[in-house]
Structure 1
Amino acid sequence: MPQDPASVPGVERPKIAPLDIIRSIVLVVAVGSLALWGFFTWPFPWNIVLGIGTPVVVILIWALFISPRAVLRLHPFLRAAVELLIYVGVTIAWWLMDQPFIGIAFAVVAVGAGVVSGRRRIA
């Protein structure tokens, strides 16, 4: 009978908190929102470029600076500023799509999750 991976010596399972799940959902919604903004706001040649390019840029920025295994380690305040810039961009994208209430709701959830996560990380 196979052993439970949590009981195997030398194997550490990552602890995933509900806040981590919320932050992952916020990132997926951000990337999807920017794809929608790119595809539906711009005329033909630019909608392909921005619909694909903007989410790719956000994913690269997230991987470089914000992810749990970030390539470049930043001071926590700079990391929060980069994360906030992404959230501001998504909120502005929703406003440009004439959906200000969705943008405000996204901003409240994203910034709230980021603040709680940042406080937990610093403490």
Structure 2
Amino acid sequence: MTNAPQSPVDWGDVPPPTDPAPARRGVSVSGWVVLRVLVCAFGLLSLAYWGYLAWPFPFPGVLFMVGAPLFAAVVWFLFRSPRSPIDTDVVGKVVVETALVIAAGGAWLSLGHPVVGLVFVLVAAFSGVVAFRRETA
């Protein structure tokens, strides 16, 4: 096509655009990652502890002690993880993470430790809000 519009700018003299690194304030990235890992691990251990104490030990106890955290981990992997095989929008990720956090907090409530459940839910909510803000920014 010989009559295509031509740019009036000579791009040979223009330097390539640079992307300055954003200034970091507060806790470093690794600090937030450590907090997220601790929250997730505590949530899974809470579900396992609930399965151990809330059900009789031989048959249903072992099933719930292993099954509840395994189910939560699989749901988190399928719908919430960064390498999720199922493409989920932001609302779906929030719903899944909220359900898992409430399940772990409810486990502590049903065991008779509402303060532990409330503190866990508050820390997990704070960590979740920070994680979503960093993901969508």
- Equivalent position SS for 1:17: helix
- Equivalent position SS for 1:36: helix
CA contact (8 A) 2:47 2:68 kept: yes
Q: CA deviation at 1:17?
A: 2.8
Q: CA deviation at 1:116?
A: 1.1
Q: CA deviation at 1:96?
A: 0.4
Check if 1:28 corresponds to 2:44.
no
The CA distance in 1 between the partners of 2:86 and 2:39, in whole Å, is 22
Q: Structure 2: which 5+ residue stretches go unaligned?
A: 1-28
Q: Structure 1: which 5+ residue stretches go unaligned?
A: 1-15
Tell which deviates more after alignment, 59-68 or 49-58.
59-68
Check if 1:54 corresponds to 2:73.
no
What one-letter code is carried by the residue in structure 1 that aligns with 2:51? G
What one-letter code is carried by the residue in structure 2 that aligns with 1:21? V
Bigger radius of gyration among the two = 2
Greater fraction helix: 1
What is the Cα-based RMSD across aligned positions, in Å? 1.4
Partner of 2:120: 106
The CA distance in 2 between the partners of 1:80 and 1:23, in whole Å, is 15
Report Cα offsets for 1:25-68 as digits up to 9, x if no partner: 11100110000000111123211110010011011111111112
Q: Percent identity?
A: 31
The number of equivalent residue pairs is 109
- Equivalent position SS for 2:84: coil
CA contact (8 A) 2:79 2:92 kept: no
